[in-house]
A = this chain, B = another copy of it.
Amino acid sequence: MYVTLLNTHDETDELLNIIETPRKKPSLGSVRFLPAGSNLFHEGDEAQFIYEVRSGVLRLTRVLENGKRQVIAFGYPGDFVGFPNGTQYHTDCDVISSTELIAHRRSALDMDVGDEATRRRLLNAALREISGMQDHFMMLARKSATEKVASFLSVLSERVGVQAGAARKVNLSMRRADIADFLGLTTETVSRTFTQLRKAGIIAIETAQVIVILDQRALSDAAETE
């Protein structure tokens, strides 16, 4: 399994969640709703909150001086976004599809104020993020275009795909350009690779955003060195 998009929440989280909720002050930050296309924060903004995604999709990006853009990660339900560097955010964060978020105060992470369970959850999410980013390194540096796209679809299928008979349906939400900037490719190459996987009978393209994975096995084979 490759391409950690962000932190896949694990059982520990669930457990802590259950334990946490019935306790005194839940100290769960406030809930927020944001529409597609809106911005959650910009690089350099004072990092007041760390957000936990409940629904929708977020996109974390950084921009190089020369204008080239890198999508650092996508934030899906269960992910945390907005870990600060010092007191500032170090990416932009935009809403790809309308989202429900829980805003945790940054201080919940680096102070002993607030409840211990939340602090642990945030810390573990940060550590998982480090691990996930390392997987992403392998992808960016050592995989071919086909392997990258297949890995991407494979992970997305597992995380947000819904079963549709023998196949699995995935709503990508984001555009080709976002996928390209995430995988370190061009939109043209992403598009060509989708076509190639379609012609191989591995996927079907229902709409540009909705991909049907016909042969999961073949897809994950293509994700590894082929």
Residues of chain A touching chain B, judged by Cβ–Cβ distance below 8 Å, are 10, 12, 62, 64-66, 68, 70, 72, 83-86, 90-91, 109-110, 112, 116, 120, 123-124, 126-131, 133-134, 136-138, 140-142, 183-184, 224-225
Contact = CB atoms under 8 A, between A and B. Distances in A.
A139 to B, nearest CB: 9
B134 A136 contact: no
A72 B140 contact: no
Contact of A138 (B70, B112, B127, B141): B70
A83 B12 CA distance: 18
Contacts of A91: 134
Contact of A116 (B85, B112, B142): B112
5 contacts: A68-B138, A90-B131, A137-B140, A141-B183, A142-B184
| Of A66, A85, A126, most B-chain CB atoms within 10 Å | A85
Given A70-B138, A137-B136, A127 B224 contact: no
Contacts of A124: 86, 110
Nearest to A116: B112
Contact of A66 (B12, B72, B224): B224
Q: Report whether over half of chain A's contact residues are helix, strand or loop; otherwise say mixed.
A: helix
Q: What's the number of copies of this chain in the assembled complex?
A: 2
A110 B12 CA distance: 14
A85 B141 contact: no
A131 B116 CA distance: 25
A66 B225 contact: yes
Nearest to A138: B70
B140 A184 contact: yes
B133 A133 contact: yes
A184 B130 contact: no
Contacts of A109: 123
A83 B66 CA distance: 33
A152 to B, nearest CB: 13
A70 B137 contact: yes
